[in-house]
Structure formats: structure tokens, C-alpha cells
Chain A
Amino acid sequence: DTGVSQNPRHKITKRGQNVTFRCDPISEHNRLYWYRQTLGQGPEFLTYFQNEAQLEKSRLLSDRFSAERPKGSFSTLEIQRTEQGDSAMYLCASSLGGSGRLSYEQYFGPGTRLTVT
């Protein structure tokens, strides 16, 4: 399967612990996005990368959150000192980039569900 993959699929952690999620985009896609989705809401944008460069960050991304894409391939999202309000589904998406409408359609992974107790 060559779709977007995310690991782990589920994570339960205690408040105050650090967690890290991984996203592997579709191999030829150079744009990678992170979103967060809570119950009853649509996905909310967190940040995105063009290759290894982080081009935009939402104000939702507090200083406890950091994302990297060191070699322009996979990406990690780390949350430090987790809080109960961080409990959500964290979604990763990728797109081809380049020119043209079809290059920017975003393909989503299955998500990582985080529960902070």
C-alpha cells in the first residue's frame, strides 16, 4: 500500500508526558500537513512542510508542539508536557505540490488517536 501511513494508531499517555507521532507520506509527495481533529469538529490545520522546510504554523501550535521533517520524507510531531486538552485525532496529509490544481489535493493518513489521562 502506497498511501499515507501514521504510527502509532493509538497512544494513551499520562498528563505531563511527552509523545511523538510519525507520518510517512506518499513517496513522491513533497508537501506534508499536520491537522488535529476533536470530536464533532472538522480537521484543524497545525502546520505544513514543503520538502524539509516548515512553511506555516497555526497559532494552535503552542510551544509544547514541535514538528520536523528532517530529510523531506517522513515527519514527526512531538507534544511535550501533554495536557488533557491535547486528546484528539492527529491527522497527517500529503500532496504532490508543483503546479496545477491536481498537484495540491491532500491525501490523508488514518490518524493517531491520542488520549491523555
Chain B
Amino acid sequence: DQQVKQNSPSLSVQEGRISILNCDYTNSMFDYFLWYKKYPAEGPTFLISISSIKDKNEDGRFTVFLNKSAKHLSLHIVPSQPGDSAVYFCAASVGYGNQFYFGTGTSLTVIP
């Protein structure tokens, strides 16, 4: 049973515009969420995280929003750059340090 879902397998955005990647989860016990970015032939790279006590976290061009009532989180990238083209995974865990449950990923293409 997929507890973390990314329903959009791919997304294309023009350079300079906003990219919005979405993630839904089913387990209400999840309290720590992360986004990872993955290039081909490399392992996932940590991007940004948020705990359930917050509803927003920003780091430069990246902002993660958490809506606990809807069990939904999103990653906003503004402005999008061609180097952002990669597969983005959201992940969730119950408590810190425990196993992560990953979504299936969204492939982002930023068009120059």
C-alpha cells in the first residue's frame, strides 16, 4: 500500500516561472517530511524538510508547504532554472530517524 503518493509523473515549466510539485499521504502519524532531488545515475540529494508543527519552510528558491488536514504537501521552486531538471521525491516518516516512505517521484523539466 503506497502511503505517500505523487500523482504527477512529470511536469514541464518554463525557465523563470514557478514549479509546483505535489505530494499526498495517507498515514496521519507521519510527522516529518522531506523532499529529495535525484539526477540520473546518482543517489537522491536532500533538498528541504518540514516537521508537522510547521506549515511552511523556506530555503532560498525552495519552499515546502504542509497542509495536515488535507494530508498534502507541496514544493514550490521560484524561479525555476534549467539545472532544477531532475526527479523529485517526497518522503515521510513517523518520528525522526525512522524509515522514510517515499513517493514514486515527479520528473521536472525546466525549459530554457
Q: A-side interface residues toward B, CB under 8 Å?
A: 4, 31, 33, 35, 40-45, 48, 56, 58, 91, 93, 95, 97, 100-101, 103-111
Expressed in whole angstroms, the minimum distance between the Cβ of B1 and any Cβ of chain A is 12
Q: A97-B97, A101-B32, A101-B96 given as contacts; is B49 within 8 A of A43 (CB)?
A: no
How many residue-residue contacts, CB under 8 A, span A and B? 61
A48 to B41, CA, bound (A): 23
Expressed in whole angstroms, the minimum distance between the Cβ of A54 and any Cβ of chain B is 13
Residues of B within 8 A of A31 (CB): 97
Q: Please list 5 pairs of residues, one from A and one from B, whose beta carbons are closer than 8 Å in the complex, sorted by A's number.
A: A35-B102, A42-B4, A42-B89, A107-B46, A109-B43
Interface centre among A42, A43, A100, A107, by most B CB within 10 Å? A42
A100 to B43, CA, bound (A): 24
Residues of A within 8 A of B101 (CB): 45
Residues of A within 8 A of B49 (CB): 101, 105
